[in-house]
Amino acid sequence: MGLALEQSGIPTVAIHTHVFARLARSVAQANGMPTARQTFVPQPVVGRAPEELRAYIEGKDPISGLPFAQELIEGLSKPLDDQDLSGLSFERTTERLLPADSEDRLQQLFIDNQWTDYQPIVLPTEARVDAMLAGTSHARNDIVGRLRPTVYRELWEFDVEKVAVNAVMSGARPEYFPVILAMAASGVSGRSSSTTSQATVAIVNGPIRDQIGMNYGVGALGPYNHANATIGRAYGLLSQNLQGGSVPHESYMGSQGNFLSYNAVIVENEAASPWEPLHVQHGHAADTSTVGLLLGGWYTIFGGGPRDTWREKFTRSLQACDPYTGPVIALDPIVARGFTELGFDTKQKLLDWCVEHARLPAREYWDNQWIQTLHRPRAVAGIEPYATMLAAKPEELIRMFRPEDIHIVVVGGGTGAMWQMIGGGPRLTLCSIDDWR
Amino acid sequence: MTSSVAVHDPRGFPPKVIGKRLAPRLESLDGKVIYLVDCLFDNSDVFMEQLRLWFAEHIPLAETRPVKPKGSWQDDPEMRATIEANGDAAILGVGL
């Protein structure tokens, strides 16, 4: 927004907290305005009292060491120099092939350039990439899509060959390539730079699961299947490399990081489920294959059952979910059948029960940091249901989720009546895999 | 002797960057309208209010106007049009 105001003739200064200094400069540079005026205050602003924030304003910029207020005023009034007037134009190129070298040195080069997840990769030789390309009917130069780590970064573009390179690095086989291409084409990054340490949860449905030998049975969410493991890894690697990086302080700001960033692929056990699979719920034919992506992945809650007290356990678990990102409720087939015996003969009935019982006092809901940041402006603007929820009295129990915020999938091998609520995301992006065969 | 292999570069294609000039700066803030844009991050409203009070004390001849976009992490063309039509400068805070 600040760069757009500058372009329309409004001198602008942006204030950031100091931990964002490298990121802020990198964004300004990538937008052709490297000298955009930026000032910094200490982290955090969240939770600081007015007098502490006043001290930030009257103190020094922790990055430059200069008085903050002086920088602010000079940012709006100090005359411009030549670079301010011209900006900075440049082209960045990425080569098709890297200079030939030994395998050991290339492995180290990929680590040094932060092109890996710090586990050994399969080097993407021309022969291996050509073999991967045989996994799709698309031409190597077909554009697949564009990705970026967050909305204020520039979009990087990539073709089929570039996706194949990252698929090879992950150890994936050519027959997995349509799934990986669908994920790449989704526009959803598996390496979001959010300070909240988002991960992207992927749900695979349809015949492709059996065609490439994916695991939806015993150990499906763990490291027990080649396709599950390498497809999830490929999605992470392609996200970071095709979007222009996922480098801490520059293009990744997740404060704690997220285990699910290594792999968060769920394959639905459609044959053992008493209900419609996820893709059919969303209007796709049962004989088509899809991958659904949810940007979130903030939490996991575990339980067993349904036992006599399942209502209490489910209610408490739903209340423990983050209200900005509804859960993916992953049920073992035993649990799913147990729910049908309780009268939930469709997923929708169980989903409706969850929506009805997932409630928080309004004061607690609106005190959530992300609800405050993302939903409150919508409520203030009169957008429903948030406006009505904002009008609720502090102790009134309000719904945490809309029906579309919760997803139910059946996964597991029936060795235990277990379920997990895994942090989903605010929006399901469902992509065709068949389009990439 | 270690054999040498050629491998692909795994990175995507970055967009070309076109340089953009900054807006002309103001000779003085006195008599000017400065929009204080609250970026809607948690507690940024409290920070921007403190900034408004600081301006009132230290640069009383500048007029500050607090303003909020419609949502976080998104452009608000209507708000930008207001600033462009009625403002001389803008300060955005706190956050990206």
pLDDT bracket for residue B95 (50, 70, 90): low
Instruction: Indicate the pTM of the whole model.
Output: 0.92
SS3 state of residue A189? coil
Residues 6+ apart with CB under 8 A from A331: A339, A408, A409, A410, A411, A412, A419
In a domain, B2, yes or no: no
Q: Per DSSP, which regions of A166-305 are E strands?
A: 199-205, 265-267, 290-296, 300-304
pLDDT at B18: 87
Report CB contact under 8 Å: A69, B58: yes
Average pLDDT in chain A: 95
Q: Which domain holds residue B54?
A: 33-93
Place of tokens 């027990």: A224
- What is the number of domains present in chain B? 1
pLDDT bracket for residue A395 (50, 70, 90): very high
In a domain, B73, yes or no: yes
Chain B residue nearest residue A79, CA to CA: B25
Least CB–CB distance from B14: residue in A5, A15, A244:
A244
Residues 6+ apart with CB under 8 A from A210: none
Angular region, A416: left φ>0, alpha ψ -120 to 50, beta rest: beta
**What type of residue sits at position A219?**
G
Q: Where are the alpha helices (DSSP H) in A78-142?
A: 82-86, 103-112, 126-133
Report CB contact under 8 Å: B84, A5: yes
**What type of residue sits at position A286?**
A
Per-residue pLDDT tens digits for B6-29? 999 999 999 998 888 899 999 999
Percentage of chain A modeled with pLDDT above 70: 100
Least CB–CB distance from A11: residue in B25, B58, B72:
B25
Domain residue spans of chain A: 2-86, 103-301+428-436
In a domain, B12, yes or no: no
Report CB contact under 8 Å: B96, A23: yes
Report CB contact under 8 Å: A100, B6: yes
Report CB contact under 8 Å: A12, B17: no
Per-residue pLDDT tens digits for A284-305? 999 999 999 999 999 999 999 8
pLDDT at A372: 86
Cis amide linkage into residue A306, ω under 30° from 0: yes
Distance CA A241, CA B39 (A): 30
Per-residue pLDDT tens digits for A245-283? 999 999 999 999 999 999 999 999 999 999 999 999 999
A234 pLDDT more than 80: yes
Distance CA A26, CA A29 (A): 5
**What type of residue sits at position A11?**
P
In a domain, B75, yes or no: yes
- In A, which residues are within 8 Å of B93 by CB distance? 14-16
Lowest mean pLDDT among A291-295, A316-320, B1-5: B1-5
Element (DSSP H or E) covering residue B53 = helix B44-58
